[in-house]
């Protein structure tokens, strides 16, 4: 069943809006109006939100955790939350800091806030926010000017390898750079790298000791050249805020309210920075989905999201499960993927419920070889485009960037325009900058420009100006740089058409002002071409039609995914790919790499029970996810019901009384260097027991309980499950699995199998 051709402007609703959220007015933000008028009141900001989204928007005090499934409108919910607070006079725009992980996401957030009448709110990436603070406070806290920031560290790593006489090929150089980045975001210094990598189960590109040597040489080389890297921005900001209380207080006086998007992707270093920004306060809203954790190789962990309620017992938790993006058929496949998952993230999965009309069943196609798969995919795309589907509404997603070239060639041979996801940002492209200068000049001196003599309206004026920059009514033949430049200019032409339709009477000067605002927010128009992207870079995006290619063993999961945790992350990566599709989803794989090659490949294990002809896998009930709704902590009511803020008592050291912000100290409820009344015997028995459990389960010891949690247990020596459950780090799952053993050890009783025998 093909997507119905549409002459709507890209981004406009596919169906007329209805006055209530139950009838389709709420969308997952993709089909929002391109140029809406700002709501005329705070209450108008809330119009069109579903009950759970409204609960997010009106819960403005204290800690709030939003567990948001794919396509459930999380960005809509949190931007309306900020805008409602600002428009109601509860939040000052300059006091709000919203942080996310990509410039694109931050730009989209700024654009939406501007449309909602909440301009002035800071929406930035962690690195961007930290860099601004570091640049401002460096002269005061350190003295002099901030060292130069290197954009790409790979050359420095190569120089460090040469200094150590370590030979690295291009792939090893890239992997070694990734290891250094992981070490820094997990706050691991070179001397601790070998042990930390072993604990984390890292598959190191070289011998760990050699990698540690390379890491140390890299840091020394940086210091010698007086430069810092991307991760140093966070590390140095953390150091300044920790060491200079006056600086920390100045930052905290500026920002009183924090929103963190994609919270499942925070690294330990980013979490530490967030804690320092917050101080003793709790005006924090986090948003995430553990089932979309796909960047653990960079140090990201969903533990901060999953442990949020234990760190903030009074938190309001809102679950968004109404999927406005995908058809029931796509959602059913996505839910089926997670139903077979294992691990902590899987225990907290959300069961999505589609809000869209039915669509076609996902298609599964097997090809003889990879070229045949690419040609077959291009042929199907050509048929969709000929039937009226806009190329920009189609994506081809693959596991590795190396798969791209085959599909580029196949699409070019089929005469289908395409764009590569992950290229430079739209407004940074040379042709877009030149076009902006030309449009600005025409807006100022258009009356004397012969190009505009025959232009009767705004779209024709833009076409006339951009024709001098290389735009033509028909695209150039073939692919490559010439076609990419044309696609950029065509995107501006389409934007001008949509702008004129939304704002009758708009002038060329009005359009230039709109482009300037969009450039500042990195709110790019849509380029009219099929998107080619890796699954990792597709996160946060969506299309009407998605082709998931190369879904075969060895590629999905990737061949180097060995451990259970790595396999589960690969499953989540496929889940992210599936949930990018709104209406049509194709999954395909090839039996051989090359024509005539041995047909030794098999479809991905993740498709077992989901594609026709395979046994159905048993469903699993989510432990902490499932249905949507609102769970309130000790607080009750929304901001409308409780206008005055109620302070949560900050965690304080039970020995000296100092406020605690470090997660490890908060587990112990004391400062690290304050005297301890720990029962050493209990602690040692717990450590011995933990080692046995770790060996049995084949995982690092800290995955059973961390040292800090064991210390907290040995200090409190709980008598029953209720007391044990109060200790941070002892969640419901660990209480059920290990509670009886831990309580037996605390009571001095023998634990069955504690001697290593079952």
Buried-state track 282-315, b at ≥16 Cβ within 10 A, e below 16: bbbbbbbbbbbbbbbeebbbbbbbbebbbbbeeb
Is 74 known as a binding-site position? yes
Q: Which residues lie across from 317 on neighbouring strands?
A: 65, 631
Say if CB 28 and CB 579 are below 8 A apart. no
* DSSP alpha helix (H) spans, 550-672: 564-578, 663-668
Is 748 known as a binding-site position? no
User: Alpha-carbon distance 402 to 197, whole Å?
Assistant: 27
The two three-digit tokens of residue 295, written as one number: 């960047």
Closest CA to 512 of 442, 426, 576: 442
What is residue 464's three-state secondary structure? helix
* DSSP alpha helix (H) spans, 267-327: 268-278, 303-306, 308-311
Sign of CA dihedral 337, 341, 345, 350: positive
User: Taking the CA of residue 274 as centre, how many other CA atoms within 13 Å lie in the half-sphere pointing to its CB?
Assistant: 25
Residue 115, φ and ψ in degrees, nearest 5: -65, -25
Closest CA to 511 of 610, 455, 442: 442
User: Alpha-carbon distance 257 to 62, whole Å?
Assistant: 9
Sign of CA dihedral 526, 532, 536, 542: positive
User: Alpha-carbon distance 678 to 706, whole Å?
Assistant: 16
Is 70 known as a binding-site position? yes
String of DSSP letters for 506-530: --HHHHHHHHHHHHHHT-PPPPSSE
What is residue 641's three-state secondary structure? coil
* Three-state secondary structure string covering 46-75: CCCCCHHHHHHHHCCCCCEEEEECCCCCHH
| CA 4 to chain CA centroid, nearest Å | 31
CA distances in angstroms from 292 to 63, 67, 575, 630, listed in the order given? 22, 11, 8, 21
User: Alpha-carbon distance 694 to 135, whole Å?
Assistant: 45
Is 184 known as a binding-site position? no
Maximum separation of any 2 CA atoms in the chain, in Å: 94
Buried-state track 622-656, b at ≥16 Cβ within 10 A, e below 16: bebbeebeeebbebeebbeeeeeeeebeebbbeee
Helix (H) or strand (E) holding 97: strand 96-100
Closest CA to 251 of 147, 140, 137, 99: 137
Is 464 known as a binding-site position? no
Is 72 known as a binding-site position? yes
Helix (H) or strand (E) holding 687: helix 680-697
- DSSP class of 533: E
Residue 631, φ and ψ in degrees, nearest 5: -120, 120
User: Alpha-carbon distance 118 to 103, whole Å?
Assistant: 19
Nearest 5 degrees, angle CA 627-CA 631-CA 633?
160
Helix (H) or strand (E) holding 104: helix 103-115
Specify binding-site residues for ATP.
68-75
Binding residues: 68-75
């Amino acid at each position: 069943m093909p997507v119905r051709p549409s002459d709507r402007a890209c981004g406009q609703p596919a169906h007329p809006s209805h006055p209530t959220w139950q009838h389709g007015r709420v969308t997952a933000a993709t089909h929002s109006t391109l140029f809406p008028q700002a709501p005329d009141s705070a209450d108008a900001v809330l119009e069109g939100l579903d009950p759970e989204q409204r609960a997010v928007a009106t819960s403005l005090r204290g800690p709030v955790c939003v567990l948001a499934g794919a396509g459930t409108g999380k960005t809509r919910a949190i931007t309306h939350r900020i805008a409602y607070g600002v428009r109601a006079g509860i939040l000052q725009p300059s006091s709000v800091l919203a942080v996310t992980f990509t410039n694109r996401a931050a730009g989209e957030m700024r654009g939406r806030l501007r449309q909602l009448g909440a301009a002035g709110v800071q929406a930035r990436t962690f690195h961007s926010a930290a860099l601004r603070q570091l640049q401002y406070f460096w002269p005061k806290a350190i003295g002099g000017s901030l060292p130069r920031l290197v954009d790409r560290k790979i050359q420095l790593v190569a120089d460090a390898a040469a200094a150590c006489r370590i030979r690295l090929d291009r792939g090893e150089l890239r992997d070694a750079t990734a290891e250094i980045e992981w070490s820094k975001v997990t706050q691991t210094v070179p001397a601790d790298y070998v042990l930390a990598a072993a604990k984390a189960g890292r598959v190191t590109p070289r011998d760990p000791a050699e990698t540690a040597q390379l890491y140390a040489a890299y840091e020394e080389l940086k210091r010698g050249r007086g430069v810092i890297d991307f991760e140093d921005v966070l590390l140095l900001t953390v150091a300044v805020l920790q060491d200079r209380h006056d600086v920390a207080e100045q930052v905290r006086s500026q920002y009183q309210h924090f929103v963190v998007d994609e919270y499942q992707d925070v690294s330990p270093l980013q979490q530490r920075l967030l804690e320092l920004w917050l101080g003793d306060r709790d005006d924090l809203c986090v948003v995430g989905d553990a089932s979309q954790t796909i960047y653990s190789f960079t140090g990201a962990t969903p533990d901060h999201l999953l442990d949020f309620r234990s760190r903030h017992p009074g938190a309001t938790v809102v679950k968004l499960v109404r999927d406005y993006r995908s058809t029931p058929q796509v959602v059913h496949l996505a839910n089926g993927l997670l139903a077979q998952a294992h691990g902590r993230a899987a225990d907290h999965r959300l069961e999505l419920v589609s809000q869209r009309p039915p669509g076609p069943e996902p298609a599964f196609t097997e090809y003889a070889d990879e070229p045949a798969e690419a040609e077959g995919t291009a042929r199907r795309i050509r048929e969709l485009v000929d039937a009226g589907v806009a190329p920009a509404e189609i994506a081809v997603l693959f596991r590795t960037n190396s798969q791209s070239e085959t599909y580029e060639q196949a699409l070019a041979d089929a005469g289908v325009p395409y764009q590569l996801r992950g290229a430079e940002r739209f407004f940074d492209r040379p042709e877009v900058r030149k076009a902006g200068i030309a449009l600005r000049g025409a807006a100022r001196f258009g009356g004397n420009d012969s190009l505009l003599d025959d232009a009767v309206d705004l779209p024709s004026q833009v076409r006339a100006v951009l024709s001098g920059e290389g735009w033509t009514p028909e695209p150039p033949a073939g692919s490559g740089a010439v076609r990419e430049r044309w696609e950029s200019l065509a995107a501006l032409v389409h934007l001008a058409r949509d702008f004129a339709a939304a704002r009758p009477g708009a002038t060329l000067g009005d359009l230039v002002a709109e482009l300037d605002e969009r450039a500042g927010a990195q709110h790019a128009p849509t380029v009219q071409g099929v998107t080619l992207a890796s699954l990792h870079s597709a996160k946060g995006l969506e299309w009407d039609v998605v082709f998931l290619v190369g879904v075969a063993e060895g590629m999905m999961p990737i061949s180097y995914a060995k451990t259970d945790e790595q396999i589960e992350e690969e499953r989540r990566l496929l889940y992210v790919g599936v949930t990018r599709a709104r209406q049509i989803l194709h999954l395909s794989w090839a039996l051989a790499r090359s024509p005539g090659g041995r047909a030794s490949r098999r479809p991905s294990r993740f498709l077992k029970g989901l594609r026709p002809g395979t046994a159905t896998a048993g469903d699993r009930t989510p432990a902490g996810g499932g249905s949507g709704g609102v769970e309130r902590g000790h607080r009750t009511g929304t901001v409308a019901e409780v206008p005055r803020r109620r302070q949560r008592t900050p965690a304080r050291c039970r020995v000296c009384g100092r406020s605690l912000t470090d997660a490890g100290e908060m587990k112990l409820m004391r400062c690290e260097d304050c005297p301890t009344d720990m029962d050493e015997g209990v602690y040692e028995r717990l450590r011995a027991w933990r080692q046995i459990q770790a060996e049995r389960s084949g995982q690092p010891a800290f995955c059973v309980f961390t040292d800090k949690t064991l210390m907290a247990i040995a200090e409190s020596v709980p008598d029953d499950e209720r007391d044990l459950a109060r200790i941070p780090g002892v969640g419901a799952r660990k209480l059920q699995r290990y509670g009886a053993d831990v309580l037996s050890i605390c009571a001095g009783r023998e634990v069955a199998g504690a001697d290593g025998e079952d």
